[in-house]
Amino acid sequence: HFWEPARMSRQTRISDLPANQTLYVNNLNDKINVETLKKSLREVFAAFGGIIEIIAMKSLKRRGQAWIIFKETSAATNSLKSLQGFPFYNKPMRINYAKSK
């Protein structure tokens, strides 16, 4: 399984950036195929609301990170609070609001 809720540790460091509908996620496992990663991210984050798009790239410089664009800012906020530090493919996700939409 790509996530293990039993070992979830809560890091409650909420972003200093203004709330918006796009989340920046990093510390992702860069050994996972980008299409698999996007599909798995959608499965986890869709529980919080509608997703417009998930952006993850194959390039070396961009691996291990993704942007998740929600339909609603509230969905982004709820998932950020709930999934911060969530173990995803054996690495705790670091989530923040994106700097620009």
pLDDT tier for residue 64 given thresholds of 50, 70 and 90: very high
Residues 6+ apart with CB under 8 A from 15: 80, 96, 97
Strand partners, 94: 26
CATH number of 18-97: 3.30.70.330
Torsion of CA 16, 98, 101, 91, to 10 degrees: -160
Contact 51, 39 (CB under 8 A): no
For the entire predicted model, the pTM comes to 0.81
Q: What is the pLDDT of residue 2?
A: 52
Contact 85, 13 (CB under 8 A): no
